[in-house]
Chains A and B, each alone.
Chain A
Amino acid sequence: MTAIAEQVAWQTLPQAKERAAREGKPVLLDFSAAPV
């Protein structure tokens, strides 16, 4: 993750799933940072 991307508070996927369940929000799962 670059410093410029830190405006978005990225979480790990397990953390995001847990919070999504709690808040009833969808998870935005980003693969753009890593080359495939």
Chain B
Amino acid sequence: MDTVTYPDHHVAHFIEEHFVPARVRTKDDPELLKEYMVAWTPNIVVTDDQGKVHYRVEGFLQPQDFVAKLSLGAGRYHLNRQEYDQAAERFEEVAERHAGTDAAAEALYWLGVTNFKQSHDPGQLRPLWDRLAEEYPDSDWTKRSKVPM
């Protein structure tokens, strides 16, 4: 991550715009590994100011893929805080800019959820999940959207 992903200026800019970045020296504080359930690195955790975990990115990712995952993480953070406009902004960005990727499929799933949570209208959910099934028929996120009736 330090040789490829973090030095990428798009990654650095995205982090500075959407996050407060913290790095822990695990040798100095091994209790944090237990607290955040870190068994392997790279391991990037999206938390709030109380330390509650909202998203996790595990394993090495190339810069573009990492930005997509971080944007999903920011979206989940805002969704959990019922900040729906900010959440939708993040998910829409991933769905459009990273079209064709696993991250975009995940973004469409959560964009549907966000729209439903905001409006309480199932009609705001179904078009997004229909688009998910059409564009990403083999995605795990499409399978998750198939709710038995």
User: Which of A's residues lie within 8 Å of B, judged by CB?
Assistant: 1-2, 4-5, 7-13, 15-21, 23, 25-36
Q: What are the 5 tightest A-B residue pairs by CB atom distance, in nearest-first order?
A: A16-B22, A32-B42, A21-B49, A28-B19, A34-B26
> Interface-forming stretch among B33-41, B94-102, B114-122, B129-137?
B33-41
User: Which of B's residues lie within 8 Å of A, judged by CB?
Assistant: 1-3, 6-7, 9, 11-12, 15-16, 18-27, 32-33, 36, 38-51, 54, 70, 73-74, 77
The A interface is mostly helix, strand or loop, or mixed, namely: mixed
Would A26 and B40 be within 8 Å (CB), given that A4-B2, A17-B51 are in contact?
no
Chain A nearest CB: distance from B31 CB in Å?
A: 12
- The 5 listed contacts between A and B (C-beta, < 8 Å) are A5-B2, A10-B21, A12-B22, A16-B20, A27-B21
Q: Is the CB of B9 within 8 A of A7?
A: yes
Chain B nearest CB: distance from A31 CB in Å?
A: 4
Kindly state the separation between the CA atoms of A7 and B21 in the bound complex, as whole angstroms: 11
Q: Is the CB of A26 within 8 A of B54?
A: yes
Kindly state the separation between the CA atoms of A17 and B50 in the bound complex, as whole angstroms: 7
B18 contacts which chain A residues (CB < 8 A)?
25-26
